[in-house]
Structure 1
Amino acid sequence: MNRENTPAENPVAGTLSTAPNVKPCDEGRYRVECDFALDDPSHAVVAAIGTLTQTDPLELDPLYQAIDPDALNQMVSATREECQVSFEYADFDVTVDSTGAIIFEQPTGENV
């Protein structure tokens, strides 16, 4: 297995099928697309914030200080209807959509 196909693993962020591909949307907004059948939303959030801020996920505040990770995973992964969950984490407004999209938005003027 080559490095490009190796799952991203971290005790805090968990194991992801691939490293998060964070894409800028517009000024101060970033987007990650995930397959929640493969990756827990909570793990994807922590890994993407680590990528955005160039911070080891172990150095970030625990996600549970912002939201219950198990509840987040259950709400957006197990639902048959489209839903969104929004919360603040690591100076970002985070919106996790049951379609697999995660949007990260910084307050105006605080670009990464």
Structure 2
Amino acid sequence: MIATYPNTELESLTFDRDSGTYRAEFDQQRTSASAAVTALLSAVRDCAPIELSPLYESVDPDALDSLTRVRSGTNGDVTVSFTVGEDEITVYSYGTVAVTSSNADGLERSTEQPALD
């Protein structure tokens, strides 16, 4: 597990070079979707979470957490997408968050993953 934000852990961070998408999984029992978004976005942008614009300027964090919380197999999966600056964020109800830059130069196009301290 990769700790990236107070009380937030992301797992299995991957980068798709062709699409410029970073993807990470998070434990929904321990981490809210909004915290996972903040953690991954700060890692991708290589900045401290406090340096990001507040998430509520782009999406209601409570609504995001509610819509994407753990679901039973009969309820189906939910996907929520929104933008934060130049980045498109997608959160899946099965505990995955993805960040894709709408600007081709926005993310470094390499196999190097961001440092997650």
Tell me the TM-score normalised to structure 1 length: 0.80
1:83 is displaced (CA, Å) by: 0.6
Question: Are the equivalent residues in 1 in contact too, given 2:13–2:24 (CA < 8 A)?
Answer: yes
Q: What pairs up with 1:48-59 in 2 under 5 angstroms?
A: 48-59=40-51
1:94 is displaced (CA, Å) by: 0.6
Counterpart residue identity of residue 59, structure 1: E
Task: Count how many residue pairs are aligned between Structure 1 and Structure 2.
Answer: 103
Q: What stretches of structure 2 of length at least 5 have no aligned partner?
A: 109-117
> Which structure has more helix as a fraction of its residues?
1
1:109 is displaced (CA, Å) by: 1.6
1:78 is displaced (CA, Å) by: 4.8
CA RMSD, aligned part only?
Answer: 2.2
Greater shift after overlay, 18-27 or 28-37? 18-27
1:26 is displaced (CA, Å) by: 2.9
Runs of at least 4 residues of structure 1 off by over 2 A?
4-8, 18-22, 78-81
Q: What stretches of structure 1 of length at least 5 have no aligned partner?
A: 10-14
Q: Over residues 20-46 of structure 1, what are the superposed CA-to-partner deviations in whole Å (9 max), with x where a residue is unaligned?
A: 653202331110111111100000101
Question: Are the equivalent residues in 2 in contact too, given 1:49–1:90 (CA < 8 A)?
Answer: no
Q: What pairs up with 1:54-93 in 2 under 5 angstroms?
A: 54-80=46-72, 81-93=76-88
Q: Does the C-alpha gap of structure 1 residues 76 and 55 become closer, same or farther in structure 2, counting only changes over 3 Å?
A: same
1:62 is displaced (CA, Å) by: 0.2
Tell me the TM-score normalised to structure 2 length: 0.76
Task: Give me the whole-angstrom Cα distance separating, in 1, the residues matched to 2:82 and 2:51.
Answer: 19
Question: Are the equivalent residues in 2 in contact too, given 1:20–1:48 (CA < 8 A)?
Answer: no
Partner of 1:35: 27
- Kindly indicate whether residue 11 of structure 2 is the aligned counterpart of residue 24 of structure 1: no
Counterpart residue identity of residue 23, structure 1: T
Partner of 2:98: 103
Higher relative contact order (CA 8 A, sep 6+): 2
